[in-house]
């Protein structure tokens, strides 16, 4: 049982080294232009939408996040990917427990159920934390887009053309 707990501990806390290296290309560059083709990501009832289309999973947000090239967004998304990978690895622990036990001994049901429900709890916990990281990444992504938007509109209305000029800036603390 101690070996299983040690394996779980190493899987959960051994892979979460997310320190950013100084040579990391995702470091924010002051004054870097935000690509104009990027659209905000909307969240509604647990689903994410990009350009009016529903995204099937949080992993499909990776391309807009990488194109924005914001260090905070990339860090939150890397944390999500790490946590989901560790969660998937922890889900396999009960199978490993059954396959590695000696064949001559009977399965102790108390140990098995502890490992089984423990892996479910760890997987669900990591999934919830990972989804929180995705939410933080989406919020920062949308904030970065909103801080650098400039717009111009020319609309024909009742035979005349109405023009509008828009600039959206947010103060970053």
Chunked into runs of 10 residues, the chain (173 residues) has average pLDDT values of: 53 46 46 74 87 89 90 95 95 89 73 91 96 94 76 71 63 47
Assess contact for 90 and 97: CB atoms under 8 A: no
CA dist 4 → 70, 88, 95, 100, 114 (Å): 38, 16, 12, 11, 10
The predicted pLDDT at position 20 comes to: 43
The predicted pLDDT at position 125 comes to: 96
The predicted pLDDT at position 6 comes to: 52
The predicted pLDDT at position 149 comes to: 56
The predicted pLDDT at position 100 comes to: 86
The predicted pLDDT at position 17 comes to: 43
């Amino acid at each position: 049982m101690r070996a299983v707990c040690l394996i779980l501990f190493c899987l959960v806390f051994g892979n979460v080294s997310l320190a950013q290296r100084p040579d990391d290309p995702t470091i924010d560059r002051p004054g870097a232009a935000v690509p104009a083709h990027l659209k905000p990501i909307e969240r509604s009832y647990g689903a994410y939408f990009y350009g009016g289309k529903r995204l099937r999973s949080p992993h499909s947000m990776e391309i807009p996040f990488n194109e924005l090239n914001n260090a905070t967004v990339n860090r939150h998304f890397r944390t999500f990917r790490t946590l989901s990978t560790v969660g998937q690895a922890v889900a396999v622990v009960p199978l490993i427990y059954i396959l590695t036990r000696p064949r001559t001994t009977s399965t102790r049901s108390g140990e098995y159920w502890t490992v089984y429900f423990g892996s479910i709890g760890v997987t669900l916990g990591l999934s919830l934390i990972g989804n929180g990281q995705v939410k933080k990444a989406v919020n920062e992504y949308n904030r970065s887009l909103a801080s650098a938007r400039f717009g111009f509109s020319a609309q024909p209305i009742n035979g005349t053309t109405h023009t509008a000029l828009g600039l959206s800036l947010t103060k970053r603390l």
